[in-house]
A and B are shown apart, each in its own frame.
Chain A
Amino acid sequence: AQSVTQLDSQVPVFEEAPVELRCNYSSSVSVYLFWYVQYPNQGLQLLLKYLSGSTLVKGINGFEAEFNKSQTSFHLRKPSVHISDTAEYFCAVSASGGGTSYGKLTFGQGTILTVHP
């Protein structure tokens, strides 16, 4: 089974400042990693994904994340945030093989990012 821990439930930041949203995972098998964003009263939008290859992945809206296998982390970063980045962010994992966890995403509890002017 997999589990995901998002270390901060809320992150306040000023506009144009850098931000890091932290995510740690636990799994007995290899995983794929994702970050999603949810704006109020909307569904989830895929920001970026790590499936294989380079551990630094770039996504939409200027976000990037780094996969660290030894620390089982997948932190999300943005060098300069905008007011429009205010939303809830979810880290998720999916087992890369078969078994009972196959096909499903396991999500963290979410981090609410609030960007202040």
Chain B
Amino acid sequence: EAGVTQSPTHLIKTRGQQATLRCSPISGHTSVYWYQQALGLGLQFLLWYDEGEERNRGNFPPRFSGRQFPNYSSELNVNALELEDSALYLCASGGPFSYEQYFGPGTRLTVT
């Protein structure tokens, strides 16, 4: 069974630009979660999507947004990139009524 996949693996952007990160969940999973792992800040919850709806949001500014598509894949958009947005962005998926989250390999975003 295929795991959670993320693309691209690496992304280099300039300050002020927009970044789009993509995630495909495990087959049968309806929830997608996004986390940021920044140096010195640890793993922080960003967003949770389930059945196409945003269910919860972490303490991040509105320029962090996303969506979930009918096939349950998800996109994370970061607008007006700042240097401190440089981090590993991890996507996880979870099944219906399940509290377990299974993570993908991540997208390394570098903002210069």
Residues of A within 8 A of B (CB): 32, 34, 36, 42-46, 49, 51, 90, 92, 94, 96, 100, 102-110
Contact = CB atoms under 8 A, between A and B. Distances in A.
B103 interface: yes
B99 A94 contact: yes
Given A32-B99, A104-B33, A109 B42 contact: yes
Given A43-B106, A100-B56, A102-B55, A107 B99 contact: no
Interface in B69-99: 90, 92, 99
B104 A43 contact: yes
B30 to A, nearest CB: 12
Contacts, number: 54
Nearest to A96: B99
Given A104-B33, A105-B33, A105-B43, 8 more contacts: A42-B105, A43-B4, A43-B103, A46-B103, A90-B43, A96-B99, A104-B56, A107-B42
Interface of B: 4, 31, 33, 35, 42-45, 48, 50, 55-56, 58, 90, 92, 99-106
Q: Is the interface of B mostly helix, strand, loop or mixed?
A: strand
A92 B33 CA distance: 14
Given A36-B103, A43-B106, A44-B103, A105 B56 contact: no
A94 B56 CA distance: 13
A102 B101 contact: no
A103 B105 contact: no
